[in-house]
Structure 1
Amino acid sequence: MTKPAFPPLFSGQDAKGDDPFVLACAAAEAGCDAGLVIYDLGSSNLRAAIVFAPDVPLADAVAMLPVSGVGFQNALGALAPPEVGVHLGWDGGLYINGGRAGQLKMAASDVDPDAVPDWLVVALNLSMWPDQDDTGLTPDQTALYAEGCADLAPDQMLEAWVRHTLVGINNWADGGMAKLHTEWAGLAHGLDGEITVAGQTGGYVGLDEKLGLLLKINQETVLIPLTATLTRPV
């Protein structure tokens, strides 16, 4: 397998089987340059993480989660057959033809929404091959190769994800949240009826201007900001 090629200002590091999310957060804490992409091109899973150095408060910087999700959709849309549909969960879930196929997650150096974080990491975990041969046993789960994308190599998918995410970052930096809001909302998955996110359950009302989730809980409209999706490696 060839070494992935990334756009200028991005650099790659093979995780060699370790968790790229863990390695990326540790590298960011140690002061690595922004644009580091740590990856593990496994036979059944593609795992990768990108290190960012935001220059805006965390409340705005967490837009990197939906930006990376739209980047994933655009990347797969460019590489996969046209009948392959991609949708995005608010908490980073990745869905292919209706089945969950992966997850984006995000960590930052600080949890204060008003502070500019020293670093922010977005990680991708994508199932390339089903966990079991009989996919009928888990109809809500799928994998890339089970959805007509068997010719797509992990390094191709990784390169495309990074490239399209970079385009999304530039669009977001130039045009703000409005375009991202429209793009993401058109790809949203699982926002019908009652949903549970960040430990809270309620009826979906809508999204605020920063893609925060509005839920109706006990007759009150509650805002769950994107910062609620932040996590750290364990």
Structure 2
Amino acid sequence: MTEPTFPPLMSGLAVTGSADPFETACNRAIVGCDAGLVVYNTAADRLSAALVLTPDVPLAKAVAMLPLCAIGLQNALGALAPPEVAVHLEWEGGIRLNGGRCGSFRMAASDNTPEVEPRWLVVGFFLPLLILGEGGDRPDETALFEEGCADVDPVRLLESWARHTLNWIARWEEGGNKPLHAEWRGLAHGIGEVIEVQGHSGVFLGIDEDFGMLLRDETSTRSLPLTLLLET
């Protein structure tokens, strides 16, 4: 398989077999590595990758990198997939292709205190390429190649994700969350629906200025901070 080429300010590290790029990226960040490291695994049935970041803002602001990286993937799929393929994003990091669940994003940081500037932040994703086994076991789940994207090269998709993500980081550094908000709202899945998130249920109204989920129940509207999604 062709090795991916990453844009300036990014570097690549391939892992193979059952190695998890997200765990590898976190371990590299813990011992110390440059920001922009992309750890990736292009397995036969899935594409997974993780990006190491070193934000210079408090964690409550830095976690905007999760939806930012997700937008980068949506933009990459928009450029490479057939035009009839619809890609939407869940607040919790889930990816939707033509309405079906198709992988997700996750994130971790050096410190989970919202007011503290983290030494590092890692955002990763996995995207199933093929459904192995009986697809009827999980009728709400799908895979990239099942949705008319068999001609999408995973390596080219990885390269495109890196470029689009880097572009969005530059826009975020210049304009803050405003352009990110505008893009994400047009891609959001589930707004206006009753959902359950992190043990809370209600109508998903949208997001606040820091991408917190606005959730309305029978008595009040609350904001669930994006930091709730950080893994330990």
Pairwise TM-score range, normalised by the shorter structure: over 0.9
* Structure 2 residue 75 is the aligned partner of structure 1 residue 74: yes
**Paired residue type of 2:131:** P
Normalised TM-score (structure 2): 0.96
- Maintained 8 Å contact 2:68/2:169: yes
Note the 1:128-139 alignment, pairs <5 A: 128-132=129-133, 135-139=135-139
2:65 maps to what in 1? 64
Note the 1:43-192 alignment, pairs <5 A: 43-132=44-133, 135-192=135-192
1:21 maps to what in 2? 22
Deviations 1:111-168 (A, max 9, x none): 1111100000000100011123x54553311111011111112111111111111111
What is the percent sequence identity of the aligned residues? Answer: 53
1:192 Cα deviation from its structure 2 partner: 3.0
* Structure 2 residue 42 is the aligned partner of structure 1 residue 41: yes
Normalised TM-score (structure 1): 0.95
Q: Distance in 1 between matches of 2:109 and 2:48?
A: 18
Deviations 1:146-194 (A, max 9, x none): 1111111211111111111111111111111111111101100123322
Q: Which runs of 4+ in 1 moved over 4 A?
A: none
- Maintained 8 Å contact 2:82/2:148: yes
Deviations 1:10-55 (A, max 9, x none): 1111112201111100100001111111111001011111000101
Q: Distance in 2 between matches of 1:84 and 1:61?
A: 30
* Count of residues in correspondence between the two structures: 231
Which residues of structure 1 form unaligned runs of 5+? Answer: none
**Paired residue type of 2:188:** A
Q: What RMSD in Å do the two structures reach over aligned CA positions?
A: 1.2
